[in-house]
Amino acid sequence: MTSLLDTKKYTYKEFKDLYFKRWKVETFYNRFKNIIGVENFSGTSNQFIQQEFNCALYISNMQIILTQEVQEEVEEKYKKRVYEYKVNSSLSLGFLRERLLQLFSKKADAKKQLEELKELFIMNVIPIRSGRNNKRKADKYRQRTRPKQFKNRRIIL
């Protein structure tokens, strides 16, 4: 909502641009809550909840850092295709979860593990299709009941 109602001074296009600048923040919160599952705690004590939250935040930050490191390589590798490409965040999170304990194990070579992760990130990309527009169906979800919540949905290390 806004109180900037003068449509000649504040055009729709300006608000649209502002909204899309916020889009990365919105999708981060969605990913953090729904994909990483930060709200689904497996313990009940304050200390346990704090540890799980910090672990989820750590994994999320590690994924973002690794993704940013390989994004240039992705752009270089896929530059001759029709669309631009980016690392698939859902798959990269899964790859990171599978190898997280190995990364910190004394037996494993951490540099080798990180290089393997980066290669997996580069191989699993998705196209960026800007300007897509899907017509919204206003009453699509009006009759629907609340979705069931499953307690075993979150992946625990």
- Residue-wise pLDDT for 15-53, tens only, equals 777 877 888 888 888 888 877 777 778 878 889 889 988
Range of the domain at 38: 12-128
Residue 17 falls inside a structural domain? yes
Res 121: pLDDT: 92
CA 104, 105, 110, 114 dihedral sign is negative
Domain count for the chain = 1
pLDDT (0 to 100) of residue 56: 87
The pLDDT of residue 150: 59
Q: Considering the domain boundaries, does residue 48 fall inside one?
A: yes
Alpha-carbon separation of residue 19 from 14, 51, 101, 130 (angstroms)? 9, 33, 38, 14
Distance CA 28, CA 96 (A): 17
pLDDT score of 70: 92
Confirm whether 63 is domain-assigned. Answer: yes
* 114 C-beta neighbours (distance < 10 Å), count: 14
Residue 156's pLDDT is 53
Site of tokens 């304050």: 46
Q: In a structure prediction context, what are the per-residue pLDDT tens digits for the chain, which is 157 residues long?
A: 567 777 788 777 777 778 778 888 888 888 888 777 777 788 788 898 899 889 888 988 999 899 999 999 998 898 888 888 899 888 888 898 888 888 887 777 888 888 889 999 999 898 888 777 777 777 766 666 666 665 555 555 5
Amino acid at 110: A
* Residue 148, in any domain of the structure: no
